[in-house]
Structure 1
Amino acid sequence: MSTTYIFAGFAVGLLVGMTGVGGGSLMTPLLTLLFGVSPAVAVGTDLAFASITKGVGTITHRFNRTVQWPIVGRLCLGALPAALAATLALKYFGGLDEEIGGLIRYSIAVSVMLTVLALLFRGRLLAWIGAHPARQLRGSTLAAATVAAGAVLGLLVTVSSIGAGAIGATLLVLLYPHLSTAEVAGTDIAYAVPLTAIAALGHWWLGSIDPALLLTLLIGSVPGITLGAMAARKVPERLLRALLATTLTGVAAKLVL
């Protein structure tokens, strides 16, 4: 079983390194559906897994200059306080009921599919923005929208471990359509590091992290995300967009089904 965990960690790490997406959206379902891990432990362990794995990926993307640090700062300004508030709410009010959890999953799935459409029609989107510059958020309005988006991400990631990559990529593509796919991946990974770390600390406080499972997953994920991040800048833009779109479509399907 440990070999299977290592392989799963490597595969998810490789995908996250190249696209910024796939951590919670893939690892949490893998742990619960395939490996029989309880949902609470799967969420907590996955958040710890994501924080360490994406920390390694951020270093590689930084050397490749594919991280937009001002955007990372705005997202964190909203996400980190929201993650702390969500952790306290989980501690004192308990977890979400099944109906609300299902609503969150469906909402994420719809948002993810919006990203797929934006990626597939990126050329037309950029052309439309060029023809209608007044419709594109700019300056303080764009900054405020990014902070607000970060707050939503902080809430979603803490309660479900899903959304840091998938929803983060969605927002980056829609709010900052001029970013290259590699920059979307690098920025998405970088902002998720402190967010998932805070959420993971909250779940450690709640007692829902399996250290042995976490270590086994990291043995595979650290080399996986390093290779993926190195490849992100070298893979042709069109191919990388197709990979990201395919990954997100699979994520949406898993969330719905």
Structure 2
Amino acid sequence: MIDTSYALAGALTGFVVGLTGVGGGALMTPILLIFFGVSPTTAIATDLWFAAVTKLVGARVHHTNGHVDWQVARRLWMGSLPVALLIVVIVSLDGQVAQVEWLTKAVGIVVLITAVGLFAAPRLLAYARGRRVNGAERFKAVQPSLTVTAGAILGLCVALTSVGAGALGSVMLLYLYPLRMTPHRLVATDLVHAIPLAVVAGAGYLFAGMVDWWMLAGLLAGSVPAVLLGSLLAGKIPGRWVQLALAMALVAGGIKVMG
């Protein structure tokens, strides 16, 4: 039986993901922890598969419109997938992550960092544009290696907390590609990068039996139509206002989770 409350939570998150590429794990994991009282490992495990399916639907719309920057996505995968796979091995072999008492606080910390990144995004973008224009050769020379490093950081965050692929990833991409990442391209590339990352990171939790399938079904029942709607409306609603609203919600959620 599909739980209506899970479907509503999925719809809210799916719409934001489709609209901005941001908010999957950063929004859903705190919702599951705070409002539904789900255990940290079950919330993370279920949210990773929720994010994979939801973002796959949203990415299809953006890919059809030709907005995905595949070169940037590949660079991110070079860093994120190996790190996520390492965490998968740890989870699958002995379930150490399930025993970590600070997992809830880790979620809260990453959520708060994500919120700060969203608030500071315009200033980071302005700073990055200055560096890109005034030191173009040097900036472009380090772009590939910095992108792989950013991917590795995202892989670690997502595998341990399910948070970061969208929100933190978008802030990192704005800094690393201030001229290249148009709003549509940013959303599309961020979504495409997050899909295999969520699958790889979620595999360890899946094998460990931590995914709540009924909860996942309820979340997806709401998110799939909502992410389609959000993806179709992307660019028609001011993304900055959505980001600010999301950032404020994340601050409240992060503090509540850590408390």
**How does the TM-score come out when normalised to structure 1?**
0.88
| CA 1:130–1:173: 2 relative to 1, 3 Å | closer
Contact map agreement 1:18 1:182 (CA 8 A) in 2: no
Where do 1:57-206 residues align within 5 Å?
A: 57-91=58-92, 92=94, 94-95=96-97, 97-99=100-102, 102=105, 105-106=108-109, 109-119=112-122, 122=125, 124-125=126-127, 128-129=130-131, 132-134=134-136, 137-139=139-141, 141-178=142-179, 179-206=181-208
How big is the alpha-carbon RMSD for the aligned residues of Structure 1 and Structure 2?
2.3
**Any idea what SS the aligned residue of 1:233 has?**
coil
Identity of aligned residues (%): 35
- Tell me the alpha carbon deviations over residues 188-215 of structure 1, each in whole angstroms, 9 at most, x when there is no partner: 1110000001111111111110111111
Q: Structure 1: give runs of 5+ residues left out of the alignment.
A: none
How far apart in 2 are the matches of 1:196 and 1:241? 25
| CA 1:138–1:252: 2 relative to 1, 3 Å | farther
Q: Which amino acid is 2:255 matched to?
A: V
Query: Could you say which residue in structure 2 is the equivalent of 1:31?
Result: 32
How far apart in 2 are the matches of 1:110 and 1:116? 10
- Tell me the alpha carbon deviations over residues 202-248 of structure 1, each in whole angstroms, 9 at most, x when there is no partner: 1111111011111111111111111111111333xxx2122123313
How far apart in 1 are the matches of 2:138 and 2:182? 17
Where do 1:242-257 residues align within 5 Å?
A: 242-257=241-256
Contact map agreement 2:154 2:168 (CA 8 A) in 1: yes
Which deviates more from structure 2 when the two are superposed, residues 95-104 or residues 159-168?
95-104
Shift of 1:256: 3.3
Q: Structure 2: give runs of 5+ residues left out of the alignment.
A: none
Contact map agreement 1:108 1:167 (CA 8 A) in 2: no
- Tell me the alpha carbon deviations over residues 169-197 of structure 1, each in whole angstroms, 9 at most, x when there is no partner: 11111111121222221111110000001
**Any idea what SS the aligned residue of 1:137 has?**
helix
| CA 1:131–1:211: 2 relative to 1, 3 Å | closer
Contact map agreement 2:170 2:190 (CA 8 A) in 1: yes
Contact map agreement 1:25 1:251 (CA 8 A) in 2: yes
Shift of 1:138: 0.7
Q: How many residues in Structure 1 have an aligned counterpart in Structure 2?
A: 252
| CA 1:15–1:33: 2 relative to 1, 3 Å | same
Q: Which amino acid is 1:106 matched to?
A: I
- Indicate whether 1:55 and 2:49 are aligned: no
Which deviates more from structure 2 when the two are superposed, residues 240-249 or residues 44-53?
240-249
